[in-house]
Amino acid sequence: MNRQQLLDFASRYIAWINKNPSDEATLSKLMSRDISMPVQYPGAIPTYDGTVKFMEDLHAASNDINFEIIDTCVDELQCSITLICRATGTHSGFSFPANRADGCREWLGIARTGKKFENKCFIMMKVLSLYCRDLMLA
- Judged on CB neighbours under 10 Å (0-12, 13-18, 19+), 42 is exposed
Asked if 103 and 65 touch (Cβ cutoff 8 Å), the reply is: no
Residue 138's pLDDT band (cuts 50, 70, 90): very low
Structure pTM? Answer: 0.78
Nearest to 49 by CA among 66, 32, 65, 64: 32
Alpha-carbon distance of 21 to 7, in angstroms, equals: 24
Residue 72 has pLDDT above 80, yes or no: yes
42 cis-preceded (ω within 30 degrees of 0): no
Looking at residue 95, its pLDDT comes to: 52
Alpha-carbon distance of 138 to 136, in angstroms, equals: 6
Q: Where are the domains of the chain?
A: 3-137
CATH of 3-137, one of 3.20.20.450, 3.10.450.50, 3.30.870.10, 3.40.50.300: 3.10.450.50
- Residue-wise pLDDT tens digits, 87-137: 999 988 765 444 444 455 566 666 778 889 899 999 988 887 654 554 444
Among 27-36, 64-73, 95-104, top mean pLDDT goes to 64-73
Whole-number percent of the chain with pLDDT over 70: 79
